[in-house]
């Protein structure tokens, strides 16, 4: 098993592996080119994102954007990420349809051993992140490794999501926890029970 295969399998792997370094450099160069484009060069920017992710689809991502590899990120249709999105995609990151990220949202699949000797050896591991359809993640939220965010979920700003969040829920906090389930009031009102 090579280091990339170990990485994607959730095993300890060596991130200093030459092949992985080459892959990360490719992603960094692509992200650099994206961030250097003038704001009106949307088509050129999207072409670079498609090259980075290795897929097509409908999305709008505001630079700057950063990732480790890019090709481990699978986007559904109608994805929006505001400024300063970071996705450490050492494991697969699957994002559903109609997902919105506010500014400074970070997804971290990468992790390090708790044992200091193993950690100091430079080995690390990564676990996947899955985000369902129709999800809104608030600004400065962090999604940690091995987390599944269900469908129709709202994650509050500043949350640190360390465990799975069920469908149809509103969750917030550090650590993030479910505050309540979506209900009929959420169809009538769009902000804290206020009608405008």
Taking the CA atoms of 54, 56, 58 and 60 in sequence, report the sign of the dihedral they define: positive
> Dihedral of the CA atoms 101, 103, 104, 106 (nearest 10)?
0
Q: Report d(CA 136, CA 78) in Å as an integer.
A: 12
φ/ψ (deg, to 5) at 76: -80, 180
Q: Catalytic residue numbers? A: 112
Q: Report d(CA 88, CA 68) in Å as an integer.
A: 5
3-state secondary structure of 182: coil
């Amino acid at each position: 098993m090579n280091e990339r295969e170990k990485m994607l399998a959730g095993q300890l792997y060596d991130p200093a592996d030459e092949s992985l370094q080459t892959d990360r450099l490719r992603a960094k160069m692509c992200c650099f080119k994206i961030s250097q484009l003038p704001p009106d060069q949307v088509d050129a920017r999207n072409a670079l994102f498609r090259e980075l992710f290795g897929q097509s689809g409908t999305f709008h991502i505001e630079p700057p954007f950063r990732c480790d590899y890019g090709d481990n990120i699978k986007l559904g249709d109608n994805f929006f990420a505001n400024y300063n999105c970071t996705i450490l995609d050492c494991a697969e990151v699957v994002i559903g349809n109609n997902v919105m990220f506010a500014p400074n949202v970070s997804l971290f699949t990468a992790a390090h051993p708790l044992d200091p000797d193993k950690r100091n050896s430079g080995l690390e591991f990564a676990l996947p992140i899955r985000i369902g359809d129709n999800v809104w993640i608030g600004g400065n939220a962090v999604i940690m490794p091995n987390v599944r965010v269900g469908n129709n979920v709202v994650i509050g700003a500043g949350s640190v999501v360390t465990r799975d969040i069920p469908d149809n829920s509103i969750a917030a906090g550090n650590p993030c926890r479910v505050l309540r389930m979506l209900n009929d009031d959420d169809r009538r009102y769009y902000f804290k029970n206020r009608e405008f």
